[in-house]
Structure 1
């Protein structure tokens, strides 16, 4: 079942670095909401509400019900700024969405059954997750929280491309429409290479003591 994320915000009149610092001190996140042919609006959201939402992976890739001064609107988190080492959200950008227009959103990939696969049970193999999220396009109501990728049959030499991902109905990967060269590898399996090539020529200065006599 999809998680229904909700946030409540109030508009703010005063902007600038000083005003933003005061908001953070008071327990708010300064933010802006824009898009859908409406004027951008500066808002403030309770920091604790943002922290609660961010506990869910889907918070950053789902349509959120944002209520500003009593008016509800559908939004996506378009951008955010976090403190480099403190659990503190510094600023957020929300994009209004039209329920009748497709959106492009990066959603996480969930890798399943890797440890049960032949590759997962074989020593000497490296399984690489080259992508951990994928940009999808769909109407807001069809937006998935994540894409599952079953790796149960993964074996030596396996390559899983974008086009191999199983998508929900009415969901597309726009990158694939740009040509075959954009059908990149999501997962690859390769053998661990020897660190030292036994047939590599000896470096200069490695001559034996007998050669120096």
Structure 2
């Protein structure tokens, strides 16, 4: 995805306020052994871009004064109650160095899962994204999770994920291996099944 930005020289609360009043959003780009650079972006274009999942998890092509460099979105500050973006941080990406970032999980075949369709199970998404490490060229936009064969009473851990080539879990996830999805049957469903299996009250016992 391409992001067009413009250089800015003024900083401080007053300058940022004037910038926002003119329909712009102050931002900064840093990293890759280069000096941090103050930039500004069109607020409306940025607001709509932030609604796209890929904008948060993909390498972006940031264009400043006709030059383009790869960056990652690192931080977004929103106004407490207004739909206004106050500030954005981008980090430059070195194609030769591993980066650490969050990648969203896309859960597939949930409704057609046997555990859900025939067992009345509820799939609880404990995590919707995972921290990974990889070279920029290997960064996936998302990681698919096939739920068609999940079993009732089971939990899926991050080490159960099928990661793309060149992508690995961050060190703390590798060590902790937390649950990212659990498969349970609500107590109400269990109760209804038990009542259905029990003989009707007052019915004569089978001979």
Aligning the two structures, in what range does the TM-score lie when normalised by the shorter sequence? Answer: 0.7 to 0.9
**Deviation for aligned residue 1:123:** 5.8
Deviation string 1:83-136 (CA, Å, 9 cap, x unpaired) is: 234332211000011011111110110001111112212465332110000111
Give me the whole-angstrom Cα distance separating, in 1, the residues matched to 2:80 and 2:160: 36
Task: Tell me what 1:16 maps to.
Answer: 12
CA contact (8 A) 2:119 2:152 kept: no
Give deviations 1:43-92, integer Å, cap 9, x for gaps.
Answer: 10111221342232110111111111222111100101122343322110
Q: Distance in 2 between matches of 1:14 and 1:136?
A: 36
How far apart in 2 are the matches of 1:114 and 1:99?
Answer: 36
- In 1, Cα distance between the equivalents of 2:65 and 2:88? 17
Q: Report if aligned partners of 1:7, 1:49 keep a CA contact under 8 Å in 2.
A: no
The match for 2:101 among 105, 114, 117 is 105
> Structure 1 177/193 Cα, relative in aligned 2: closer, same or farther at 3 Å?
closer
Match of 2:117, SS?
A: coil
Q: What corresponds to 1:186 in structure 2?
A: 180
Q: Distance in 2 between matches of 1:161 and 1:62?
A: 24
More displaced 10-residue stretch of structure 1: 168-177 or 22-31:
168-177
2:160 aligned partner:
164
Q: Deviations over 1:11-49 (max 9, x none)?
A: 111111111111111111100111011111111011122
Q: How many residues align?
A: 188
**For the structure 1 residues 149 and 176, does the alpha-carbon distance in structure 2 shift closer, same or farther, using more than 3 Å as the test?**
farther
Q: State the Cα distance separating 1:177 from its structure 2 match.
A: 7.0
SS of the residue aligned with 1:81?
strand
Distance change in 2, residues 1:176/1:166 (3 Å): farther
On the 8 A contact 1:114/1:154 being kept in 2, the answer is no
Match of 2:30 among 18, 31, 34: 34
Provide the rounded CA distance (Å) in 2 between the counterparts of 1:71 and 1:173: 33
Residue 60 (structure 2) pairs with residue 81 (structure 1): no
Q: TM-score, normalised by structure 2?
A: 0.84
Q: TM-score, normalised by structure 1?
A: 0.82
Instruction: Provide the C-alpha distance between the structure 1 equivalents of 2:142 and 2:81, rounded to a whole number of angstroms.
Output: 27
Q: Does 1:96 align with 2:87?
A: no
Contact 2:158 2:173 in 1 (8 A): no
The answer to whether the Cα contact below 8 Å between 2:131 and 2:173 also exists between their aligned partners in 1 is no
Q: Which runs of 5+ in 2 are unaligned?
A: 189-207
Q: CA separation in 2, counterparts of 1:146 and 1:66?
A: 21
User: Would the aligned equivalents of 1:102 and 1:137 in 2 still touch at CA under 8 Å?
Assistant: yes
Displacement of 1:139 in angstroms is: 0.9
